[in-house]
Amino acid sequence: MPAPDRPRVGVDVYLEWLAREQIPVTEDFGVDLLKVPTARWARYETDAAAVHLKGRGDFLNMFVLDIAPSKSTAPQRHLYEEVLYVLDGRGSTTIETRDGRRHSFEWGPRSLFAIPLNTRYRLFNGSGSARARLVSTTNLPAVMNMFHDESFVFANDWDFAGRVGSDKYFNGEGDFIPIRPGNHLWETNFVPDLAAIELKPWSERGARGSNIMFILADGTMHAHISEMPVGTYKKAHRHPADFHVMCVTGTGYSLLWYEGDSDWVKVDWKHGTVFAPPDAMFHQHFNTGATPARYLATAYGSLRYPFTEGKRNALFGGVSTSVKEGGNQIEYADQSPRVHELYMKETAKNGVTVRMEGLVA
Ligand SMILES: [Fe+2]
């Protein structure tokens, strides 16, 4: 009990819980997930770390799980949503639902999957010699702060049967749900390889780009993947915090700045990089490599369940409208000339030909 002269106010129950778990925490604007230091997490019986990005927002965190060769995580079930992305290694996941159904699937680099809420699951490293490293984006901070009761979150036997989905969602298949360019949906629980999934053209964000959005395990957690062709970059835009951006293929950089700033933050990215644009910070993504660049973004508030008004607006076109028309996107014609100048220099270093003809004067 707190002493009477130390009133219990201003508490973040998630951070209190995390301190008791005694795993390392990495905090930064951007992070190389492949280099995040991990240590034994008794709860999972594997090495792990928490990652807190500056733009993680009020609801989300990340966990890095580093599974030793031939080892597995201890069985888990919990009342928060979790979207996992495989950074390195190969293995499998088993998921047991309350009706006795047991699902398992094999993952490798660039796999993406979600654990249906409160189902019992384990992660297995399938290699006898190499470690496996996965990163999860979770809404544990939101859930822990809402209920502030650890047992309710980790020892709750409620069956969310409606979130499990069809058997095919566990074997790499899914349902394509056409909405509109930029919003087309792929509903599943497991994507074997984000580098291989077919994307749909999305012209509004520029650069002849393409994307697809995901509904994973009928969740409130959002994910989407976007691709920029060689020699191109997207338009700058801004939206609420907590989109965790991870490079999947290729190389490039992003610029981030607040309205009125005279300079920007530059984040160079490659496989393993993650950063989260903070609330209302403009950001712009640039492909500088000789191959198309794909990035994954995870966030709170999905296209099906946007959860906040800010996400509802961001996901349904508010970000694709010019700031001149009250939106949150900077058209190519309105961007600082320095943006294109820097891009010309950065691509020249790699001998890449810029393909922005017809887009930037
Ligand atoms: Fe964004």
**194, two tokens:** 């984000």
The reported pLDDT for the residue numbered 319 is 82
Tell me how far apart the alpha carbons of residues 210 and 226 are, in angstroms, rounded to a whole number.
6
Q: Residue 282's pLDDT is what?
A: 98
CA 277 – ligand 1 centroid, Å: 7
Residue 4's pLDDT is what?
66
Residues 6+ apart with CB under 8 A from 348: none
Calculate how far, in angstroms, residue 239's C-alpha sits from the geometric centre of ligand 1. 6
Give 300 Cα–ligand 1 centroid separation in angstroms.
Answer: 13
pTM score, whole prediction: 0.96
- Provide the pLDDT for residue 2: 58
Per-residue pLDDT of the chain (361 residues; tens, 9 = 90+): 556 688 999 999 999 999 999 999 999 999 999 999 999 999 999 999 999 999 999 999 999 999 999 999 999 999 999 999 999 999 999 999 988 899 999 999 999 999 999 999 999 999 999 999 999 999 999 999 999 999 999 999 999 999 999 999 999 999 999 999 989 999 999 999 999 999 999 877 777 889 999 999 999 999 999 999 999 999 999 999 999 999 999 999 999 999 999 999 999 999 999 999 999 999 999 999 999 999 999 999 999 999 999 999 988 877 888 999 988 999 999 999 999 999 999 999 999 999 999 888 7
Q: How far is the CA of 6 from the centre of ligand 1 (A)?
A: 41
pLDDT of residue 1: 56
CA of 211 to the centre of ligand 1 (A): 13
Cβ count within 10 A of residue 68:
13
How many angstroms is it from 276 CA to the middle of ligand 1?
9
For ligand 1, the distance from its centroid to the CA atom of residue 347, given in whole angstroms, is 22
Lookup: tokens for 168: 């095919």
Residue 318 has a pLDDT of: 75
Query: Sign of the C-alpha dihedral, residues 62, 214, 119, 90?
Result: negative
Ligand 1 centre distance from Cα of residue 149 (Å): 33
Beta-carbon neighbour count of residue 32 at 10 Å?
Answer: 14
Dihedral angle at the C-alpha atoms of 134, 98, 118, 151, nearest 10 degrees?
Answer: -120
- Residue 241 Cα to ligand 1 middle (Å): 9
Cβ atoms of 222 and 303 within 8 Å: the answer is yes
Query: What is the whole-number distance in angstroms between the Cα of residue 181 and the centre of ligand 1?
Result: 16
The rounded Å distance from CA 91 to ligand 1 centre is 31
Question: Structure tokens of 332?
Answer: 């190519």
205, 206, 212, 213: CA torsion to nearest 10: -10
Q: What is the CA(266)–ligand 1 centre distance, in A? A: 15
Q: Please give the distance, rounded to the nearest whole angstrom, from the Cα atom of residue 282 to the centre of ligand 1.
A: 8
Q: How far is the CA of 283 from the centre of ligand 1 (A)?
A: 6
Spacing, Cα 238 to ligand 1 middle (Å): 6
Q: Which string of DSSP letters, residue by residue, matches 16-58?
A: HHHHHHT--EEEESEEETTT---EEETTTTEEEEEEEETT-TT
The pLDDT assigned to 206 comes to 73
